[in-house]
Amino acid sequence: MIRSDTVKQILEHYRVIWALGHAQSVMGWDSETYMPEEGIKGRAAARAEIAQLIQRFMLDEKFVKLVEKAEEEKDLTDVERGIVRVLKRDLKFYQRVPPEIVKEFAKVTSEAFVVWRNAKEKAKFDIFAPHLEKIVELSRIIADKLGYEEHPYDALLDLYEEGLTSRDVEAVFSVLEPGIRKLLNKLEAAGWPKKHPLEEVPYERSKMETAIVEVLELVGYPKTRFRIDVSPHPFTIGITTPFDVRITVRYRGVDFKEPLFSALHEYGHALYELNIDESLAMTPVGNGVSLGIHESQSRFFENVVGRSREFVAKMSPILRKHLDLAKYTDEDLFYYFNTVRPSLIRTEADEVTYNLHILLRYRLERLMITGEVKVKELPELWNNEMDRLLGVRPKNDAEGVLQDIHWSHGSIGYFPTYTLGNVVAAMIYYKHGRVRELIAEGNIAAVKEYLREKVHKWGSVYPPKELLVRSFGDTYNAEYLVKYLEEKYR
C-alpha cells in the first residue's frame, strides 16, 4: 500500500510521533480510571511536556519538507494521499498554534478535569468556572491562529469533523428541530410510555457487570484486544488501534439500561477502531476519520441494533439470568429501553429528544467563542434553554451545566458530532436495508462486516464527507434520521 519512498521516510519519522501519542493515550485513560486524585499534579506537567515534544517532532524541518515533497508527487495511492492529507492538517495546527499555547492548553485541560469532577460532585459551577474561562480563552486563540472563512467556531468544528462548518450544522438542525418537535407532539397524543417501573428497580453491580460482558459476547467483542473499566463519564480510547481498545461504563445501582446501553454505545466506538485495516496501524491514517463518523458507529450499535425489538429478544435471556425480570415480558423490556420523555441528562436521553440536548450545547458554544456569552452566565442560560427546548429545568448545576465532561477536556466544537453520528447511523440503516432481519437471524457478524467494508477498514484514508459519498452516496442528510424516528415510533 506504500510505494512512495518519500512516504516511507515520512512514516519512519512518524513512528516517534505515534509513540508519544500512544503514551498520551495511556496517561489519559489512567487519569480517568485509576490515577489517585493528587497524581494530577505530575500528570498535567508530563502531558504538557509530551504535547510540546509531539509539536517539536511534527515541525522538524526535514519532516515538513518530506510532507511537502510527497504532496507534489503524482502517482500516490489513496492510502498515501490520505497520509499526506492528515499530516498537512496536523502541520497546519502545529505551524499556526504557538508551542506555548499547545503546552498551556494541555496543562489547563489536565487540571480542569479533576476540578470539573469535584465541581460536579458538589454541584457548584463556580468551582469550575475559572478553569473553563481559561479553556475558552485558549480556544479563541487557537481558532484565530487556525483561521476560518465565516465564523471562529468553524475552526474548532473542523478539528473534530474535517470540513464541517456552522452552515452544515445549521442545515442539519433546521430539519431536526421541527421534525423532533412534531414527533414529540404525536407521541404525547398517542400516549407513548414516558416512564417504566424498571427505571426504579435496583441492581447489583457485580451481576450487571457480568450481564454486560455476556451481551458484548453476543455481539462478538474480542477479549484479547478489549477491556472494560469504570469512570465518571463512559468513554472509549484506542491505545494501539486495532490491537488495544478500552471502554468504560458507570454504575449507579438503579435503572440498568443506563450501563447496558453505555456499554453497547462504547462497543460501537471500539469496534470501529478494532476493524481498521491492520496495515494502517501506527500511521497517521490508523484511526477513525472523525468524531461524527465515530459517533455514527456507537449510536448504530446503541440504538439501531441495541434498542430494536429483534436485539431485545436476543439479549433478554442474558438479562433474565442476572436480573430480577420474571414479571416483565420482552415487550416490556422493549418499551423500557425506548421510553420517550424530555429529560435533564444528555447521556440518559432517548433517541427522540437526544439531539435537542446537542442543539443547546452547540448554540452556547458558538456564543462563548464570540464572547456574546460569558462563562459566568452559562448556568442560567443553560437552564433557560433546557426549559425552552425540552420543558424541563435543572435543580442544580450537576444535572445542568456541569453534567458533561467535554469542556473540561477543552473539546469545544465536539458536541455537534454527536448529532452527525445519529444522522449517519440512520443513513446506514436505510442504505443497508436488512439490519433488523439479520439481527433476528442472529447474524450480527454480517452487520459488522458491512460496517467494516463501508466505514471501518478505511481509517482516515478518506475525509469524512468523501467516505460517506463513496460508501453511501450521501453525507449529513438529516431526513434519514427524521424518517427513522417516525417509522420506529409510529
As beta bridge partners, residue 180 has: none
Confidence bin at 318 (pLDDT 50/70/90):
very high
Asked whether the predicted pLDDT for residue 1 surpasses 80, the reply is no
| Start-end of H helices in 38-124 | 40-58, 61-72, 78-96, 99-122
Annotated binding site for Zn(2+): 265, 269, 295
The overall average pLDDT reported for the chain is 96
pLDDT tens-digit readout, 343-358: 999 988 999 999 999 9
Q: What is the mean pLDDT of residues 185-195?
A: 93
Confidence bin at 143 (pLDDT 50/70/90):
very high
Question: Do 57 and 49 form a contact (C-beta atoms < 8 A)?
Answer: no
pLDDT of residue 232: 82
Q: What is the mean pLDDT of residues 472-486?
A: 97
Asked whether the predicted pLDDT for residue 111 surpasses 80, the reply is yes
Element (H, E) at 157: helix 152-160
3-state secondary structure of 264: helix
And the C-alpha cell for 288? 477513525
What sign results for the dihedral spanned by CA atoms 475, 478, 481, 484?
negative
Asked whether the predicted pLDDT for residue 377 surpasses 80, the reply is yes
Asked whether the predicted pLDDT for residue 363 surpasses 90, the reply is yes
With a CB cutoff of 8 Å and minimum separation 6, the contacts of 190 are none
pLDDT tens-digit readout, 384-410: 999 999 999 999 999 999 999 999 999
Q: What is the CA radius of gyration of the chain?
A: 22
The pLDDT > 70 percentage for the chain reads 100
**What is the number of other CB atoms lying within 10 angstroms of the CB of residue 347?**
17
pLDDT of residue 110: 87
pLDDT tens-digit readout, 422-452: 999 999 999 999 999 999 999 999 999 999 9
- pTM score, two decimals? 0.93
Please name the amino acid found at residue 371: G
**What is the number of other CB atoms lying within 10 angstroms of the CB of residue 181?**
12
Domain 166-488 coded CATH 1.10.1370.30: yes
Question: Do 43 and 110 form a contact (C-beta atoms < 8 A)?
Answer: yes
Asked whether the predicted pLDDT for residue 130 surpasses 80, the reply is yes
User: What angle separates helix 61-72 from helix 78-96, to the nearest 10 degrees?
Assistant: 140
3-state secondary structure of 155: helix
**What is the number of other CB atoms lying within 10 angstroms of the CB of residue 37?**
9
d(CA 73, CA 247): 40
Confidence bin at 240 (pLDDT 50/70/90):
confident
d(CA 366, CA 424): 23
d(CA 122, CA 293): 35
Question: Is 224 exposed, middle or buried (CB count within 10 Å of its CB: 0-12, 13-18, 19+)?
Answer: exposed
pLDDT tens-digit readout, 284-313: 999 999 999 999 999 999 999 999 999 999
- Spatial strand order in the sheet of 236-240: 226-230, 244-249, 236-240
Asked whether the predicted pLDDT for residue 152 surpasses 80, the reply is yes
Asked whether the predicted pLDDT for residue 170 surpasses 90, the reply is yes
Q: What residue has cell string 490515577?
A: 35
And the C-alpha cell for 123? 454541584
And the C-alpha cell for 463? 475525509
3-state secondary structure of 240: strand
Confidence bin at 44 (pLDDT 50/70/90):
confident
Asked whether the predicted pLDDT for residue 274 surpasses 80, the reply is yes
DSSP 8-state code for residue 202: B
CA distances from residue 300 to 282, 288, 342, 431 in whole angstroms, order as listed: 27, 15, 22, 13
Q: Length of the chain in residues, anyone?
A: 490
With a CB cutoff of 8 Å and minimum separation 6, the contacts of 163 are 463, 464, 465
Annotated binding site: 265, 269, 295
pLDDT tens-digit readout, 217-226: 999 999 999 9
Catalytic residue numbers? Answer: 266
| HEC per residue, 398-417 | CCCCCCCCHHHHCCCCCCHH
d(CA 184, CA 189): 9
pLDDT of residue 350: 95
252 φ/ψ angles, rounded to the nearest 5 degrees = -105, -10
Q: What residue has cell string 454541584?
A: 123
Element (H, E) at 227: strand 226-230
State the Cα angle at 280 between 274 and 281, rounded to 5°.
Answer: 60
Question: CA dihedral in degrees (452, 455, 459, 464; nearest 10)?
Answer: 180
Question: CA dihedral in degrees (10, 12, 18, 19; nearest 10)?
Answer: -160
List the helix and strand counts (H, then E) for the chain.
Answer: 20, 3
And the C-alpha cell for 471? 460508501
**What is the number of other CB atoms lying within 10 angstroms of the CB of residue 371?**
11
pLDDT of residue 68: 97
Asked whether the predicted pLDDT for residue 176 surpasses 80, the reply is yes
CA distances from residue 325 to 202, 208, 308, 440 in whole angstroms, order as listed: 11, 13, 19, 22
59 φ/ψ angles, rounded to the nearest 5 degrees = -95, 5
pLDDT of residue 195: 93
3-state secondary structure of 4: coil
Intra-chain end-to-end CA distance of the chain, in Å: 48
pLDDT of residue 379: 97
Question: Do 264 and 301 form a contact (C-beta atoms < 8 A)?
Answer: yes
